[in-house]
Structure 1
Amino acid sequence: MRRHRNTWLAVLATLVLVSWQAQAAQAATGVPDRSRHCAVGMPAMRAGQPGTGAHFAKPSRISCFGSFAESVSYATAGRVRLAPDARSVSTRQLQAAGVVSTPSALASQPLVGIEYEDSNYGGDSLVLYGSSGSGCYSGTWYGFPNLSSLGFDNRISSARTYSNCLGRHHDGTSYTGSYRYCDGSCSTFGTMNDRTSSIKFF
């Protein structure tokens, strides 16, 4: 009887320890289990291309991770490495890694925007990059006409744009309906919070 009780106590202690370790690991990264941070690329479009219908450029396969750091690393092909608990990245870091385009230094596979679920750049995120081109120069643009296919429809409340791109956030798919511009950093979209269904970067 005593042996059975000791075995049961040992099993219980092990379960408690495993649970505590899991919670400690989660606290160490600062990322809750439900967090979802994704990255997806889109080919560059030339001026005059509508980017919808038969001319719709297909995005790369969306890849999702448990942390913002992992999604940024993926989108930049490992050129930007952040602390595991990072929730943002500075323009200076991106420029130093050569992953955003400037007039004097054009980047391949440039970041064009980072979209956030919450105001002030919080919550889940969606890192958007160009799978071709060098940013929004000489009429080149990038379009994401249906955020529902990326799991981010009507969820954006703040954003940052890069590589000379102005982000026009529409409440309809295929760049229709009301819209809100984001140029650089937008900590909130005001009345357009949680209403974006498509984005055009140009």
Structure 2
Amino acid sequence: MRTTSKGTRIFAAVATLLAGMTAAAPAAQASEAETRPLPHCTMYISAGTVDCYATFHEAIANATGGKVTDAPSAASAMHDEVFAQRLNSLTEPDGSPKTGVARVVTSIEFQHPRYQGATFTWYQSRGCDNDTGVEYSVRNIKDHNSWWNDRISSFRGYSKCQVNHYEHTGFRGARTGYRSEMSTMGVMEDETSSLRWR
């Protein structure tokens, strides 16, 4: 009888603990859902201004200052060379913007490998030039959009820009090296905390 009573108390304690954990899980999920931005974000690198949109189409329209208003879906954009040519055509060979262009895309980052999932499009007033010096940098992604820290898994550069992804803030730790694109990022998948463009 005593064993049954003790077993009942243990069962009741475990049931109470599990109920508390179950109640906490939806709260944690709700908290993450509240902090996650809309799936397609853009950032003006120099100003640190981040805007997020429901569609990739809207994000590209913002990042190009309205010069590209009919972008394909994010999933097909990286396989659409006409789309790439349109983004790259906004700059002159030296990286300067063409007449009437105020914004150019420097890179599009994807949440998942092979250009899948949410996107983060970085833009600037001009592209990159022909030298090896750093043109633009983001020292800490968390300073601008904490949800994107350690979430980048593929990317493509535009406007003559190559991108170097760093594991830690302040351009420290493992890195991809300067690349025009990567459909998978190996050990750097979901590890980027800072970036440089050249």
Output the TM-score relative to the length of structure 2: 0.67
- Decide whether aligned partners of structure 1 residues 91 and 66 sit closer, same or farther in structure 2, where only a CA change above 3 A counts: same
Q: Which runs of 5+ in 2 are unaligned?
A: 1-36
Measure the CA separation in 2 of the matches of 1:126 and 1:119: 14
Partner of residue 128 from structure 1, selected from 122, 125, 131: 122
Measure the CA separation in 2 of the matches of 1:183 and 1:92: 21
- 3-state SS, counterpart of residue 183 of structure 1: coil
Q: Which runs of 5+ in 1 are unaligned?
A: 1-33, 44-57
* Larger of the two Rg values belongs to structure: 2
- Decide whether aligned partners of structure 1 residues 68 and 194 sit closer, same or farther in structure 2, where only a CA change above 3 A counts: same
- 3-state SS, counterpart of residue 79 of structure 1: coil
Measure the CA separation in 1 of the matches of 2:69 and 2:53: 14
Moved over 6 A (4+): none
Does residue 62 in structure 1 map to residue 50 in structure 2? yes
Measure the CA separation in 1 of the matches of 2:153 and 2:187: 9
Partner of residue 138 from structure 2, selected from 138, 141, 144: 144
Cα deviations by residue, 1:104-132 (Å, 9 ceiling, x for unpaired): 773242211110000000111100011x3
Letter in 2 for 1:41: Y
Give the structure 2 partner of residue 96 of structure 1.
Answer: 86
After alignment, is 65-74 or 105-114 more displaced? 105-114
Partner of residue 153 from structure 1, selected from 149, 162, 187: 149
Identical residues among aligned pairs (%):
28
1:115–1:125 CA contact under 8 A, matched in 2: yes
Measure the CA separation in 1 of the matches of 2:122 and 2:156: 10
Does residue 81 in structure 1 map to residue 69 in structure 2? yes
Does residue 189 in structure 1 map to residue 192 in structure 2? no
Partner of residue 173 from structure 1, selected from 169, 175, 178: 169
Measure the CA separation in 1 of the matches of 2:95 and 2:187: 36
Partner of residue 59 from structure 2, selected from 53, 71, 78: 71
Corresponding residue pairs, total: 154
**Higher helix fraction: Structure 1 or Structure 2?**
2
Output the TM-score relative to the length of structure 1: 0.66
- Decide whether aligned partners of structure 1 residues 188 and 110 sit closer, same or farther in structure 2, where only a CA change above 3 A counts: same
Cα deviations by residue, 1:123-162 (Å, 9 ceiling, x for unpaired): 11100011x3342445460111111232310000000011
Cα deviations by residue, 1:146-196 (Å, 9 ceiling, x for unpaired): 112323100000000112222110001121111013522210001110000
Letter in 2 for 1:135: C
What is the Cα deviation at residue 72 of structure 1? 0.8
- Decide whether aligned partners of structure 1 residues 86 and 161 sit closer, same or farther in structure 2, where only a CA change above 3 A counts: closer
Q: CA RMSD in A?
A: 2.6
